[in-house]
Structure 1
């Protein structure tokens, strides 16, 4: 009876949780999403672009193999922002405190330039998401940062360009900051609208600010689930890592 009530509660709230795991399945407006939550005060959230030879990693497997040489284990990884044909970041990119690409607030074509776009950044024990021009004016000097666009949620409001009846459906992934400061990553398990993806972050995941990372190439690496997407060459990668003992 207890087991039945537990399963019923999971069905009603639309969330399937996995014990002792950071990742879970979430249902929102009839669509399924994979959602992973990490604490920047405890979990090692990092950005990676190039391997030790200076070449773009391009895949989760390459990142894992390279980090393993330093006994670093990848717990989770996701494609981390839009990039050019040479796999270099399209906008601001900071790794280990070094700015490798300047912020891009230009108007243009494509999702990145569907303004306002934004910056996901990581400081010591803290992470945030901010509209790009506001970030540029803030003077924040983070350890890691990646720029992408459009913003999904801006101070609790949806991006003004999103339509509830849009006919544009794609696999999408993004990142948000919850009310308690956790970093929340999500990727749709199928094709969804921008509007529905944004309301997932705002209404179900409690994120007042959330940023779109990309669509169609949206990829995940969750070793505990034996999932490693390898469909596309990647640009920057966001990863949660830990040092192996020994």
Structure 2
């Protein structure tokens, strides 16, 4: 009975930004737990390649997560044609590294749209259907930078702090309708977004010393927490952000 709490059979999960990296790893993990998968991204070729890896029955829903009207049309259209989206993972995000005093205004605006506004747009579009059904799971991908800052990424740090607070707001407004809205905050993981850091021996040496676990995270290590937050096992967990970071936020 206890293991059945984590079974996602018969549920459908939409993961934004899921053609590669953390998003794809979470899609693969949720599929292994029984969920039907809806992949999202803007690059249709990359999306098709990712869907082919997951196999027959995987849905592709291309849309720009920063386009409010486009998101609403895509989600409403999918629900009308295919049925419920039971689980939403708001994973779409980007990084831009520049000293704060030189940070370009256009890059700042793009970070806000990609990392914060997309969570609002897709979250609202899916929640409107979930509220009608009196159930649903929303998982917003935060970051170790939700709690900590590093030089050169101050606006990114701002966006990920906002994701955690928006998650609290979602739970505060929507828990009464049967939704659970939580955050998942990865530490430093070997992903395409971090490719430059992974390739930097000096940074990797610093990270290994700074992280109690002494290494980069593997994207597969995020799957268990995501399944927990997507499943009945977390039925009374709401508005929290779970850090999966090898202990880095627990240690000075």
Q: Same fold (TM over 0.5)?
A: no
Structure with more of its chain in helix, by fraction: 2
**Coarse TM-score class (shorter-chain normalised):** under 0.3
Q: Which has the higher contact order (CA 8 A, sep 6+)?
A: 1
| TM-score, structure 2 as length reference | 0.24
Structure with more of its chain in strand, by fraction: 1
